[in-house]
Amino acid sequence: MPPKKVGSKLLNWASHLDDNALEQARETASMPFVHPHVALMPDAHSGMGSAVGTVIPTLGAVIPAAVGVDIGCGMIGVRTSFAKSDLAGRNLADLRLSIEASIPLSMGNYNRGIGDWEFTASKLAELEGLAASNDVDLTHSPKWREQLGSLGSGNHFLELCLDTTDVVWLFLHSGSRGVGNKIAKKHIAVAQRLCAQWWIDLPNKDLAYLPEGTPEFGRYIKDLRWAQRFAYLNRAEMMDRFGAVFATWMGTDDHREIERINCHHNYTVKEKHGNKDVWLTRKGAVDAHDGVKAIIPGSMGTRSYVVVGKGSASGLCSAPHGAGRRFSRTEARKRFTVDDLRNRMVGIEFRDGEEFVDEIPDAYKDIDVVMEDAVDLVTVEHELRQILNVKGT
């Protein structure tokens, strides 16, 4: 749908939007260094400081809390040459248990098999080299290496999916784990301290920013880029393990990968918008430049989409990152039960349990409405339906 103009520097693509998220977007758009405008994506909902699903272009400054605490969170999907018919007679529960045994679903402290995979060492070496060359201080996270290849909790997940032609896809959602969280919180605190020290009046303390040209800004950008790379490689590591486990389950030595898409949806990057070079923060949004592929997941039990960007200038070459929450986790637990979740997941192999009730599809926006709202931002290339879902703990 075409966007609605809300004030002089805010465009909204969301047909369903809570009042708090709209107010957060107004506050973000009021920051003096925003250029040319803030874009509110179809899946937008309330977040920390800025609404999740907000695209924020800034001149000479970055807002660390707008980037968020899960720096580089995003999706990775692999299209294989296997088809649904190749899965006949195989027990999906066995595959789920193998995945759970190979990929830590919570803290990286439990990732004791970090040396068991031949493809892990090169990723660790790259991250160690990047940290050394950019003087990235990781003393706050002595176990960051063990966090590589771990999923995390909340809405992070792994899935086995089929597209509309019954081709098999491997799919997962994760970010920069505990190390990224500590990097983010450190710089959010610095930004808040500096803005208070400089007597800067902010609409919200989580809109505290770091001005370009200061030592604190330079330090943040170096740490941010390291965390974004960690998140990218963390997804790649889990996908490599997922592929190996899937191949074994299929009785082959190759998961027959045809295509791989790995994209962030919580990050900052330098781009040109409104004829100026800006720091573009996508807080719950994917890169949708013309021809760029991305992944927009629905909630567990619904559908997900592989898309191609249309390069919408008014949309800041961005698109939604998922379904977006309708209810908070606390509210979802009040409204729904584990039996409701089981009824919604009929026909899908999944991790059953009370702890996953707040991830029930009914707690999220209708992904079909989100995709309809995003029709001017992306073209759908593949529609996926999950047959197996593994949520983080």
Residue ranges of the binding site for Mn(2+): 70, 156, 173, 265
Give Cα 307 to chain centroid, integer Å: 15
d(CA 356, CA 341): 8
Using alpha carbons, list the distances in angstroms from residue 58 to 142, 181, 328. 33, 23, 29
**Known binding residues for GMP:** 155-159, 265-266, 297-300, 304, 321-324, 391
Alpha helices in the chain (DSSP H): 19-29, 64-67, 92-102, 120-133, 144-147, 177-197, 215-250, 329-335, 338-344, 367-373
3-state SS class at 241: helix
Residue by residue, DSSP assigns 214-229 as: SHHHHHHHHHHHHHHH
Q: What are phi and psi of 15, to 5 degrees?
A: -80, -20
Structure tokens, 231: 């998140």
384, 306 contact by CB (below 8 A): yes
3-state percent helix, strand, coil for the chain, nearest multiple of 5? 35, 30, 35
As a whole number of angstroms, the distance between CA 388 and CA 338 comes to 18
Nearest Cα residue to 16 out of 367, 277, 385, 380: 367
| 321 has catalytic annotation | yes
Count of alpha carbons within 13 angstroms of residue 337, beta-carbon side: 3
Q: Supply φ then ψ for residue 154, to 5 degrees.
A: 70, -125
Q: In the β-sheet with 38-45, what is the strand arrangement from edge to edge?
A: 4-5, 10-12, 38-45, 52-58, 276-283, 266-273
Q: How far apart are CA 25 and CA 18, in angstroms?
A: 11
Tell me which residue of 379, 38, 333, 377 sits closest to 207, measured CA to CA. Answer: 38
Catalytic residues: 321
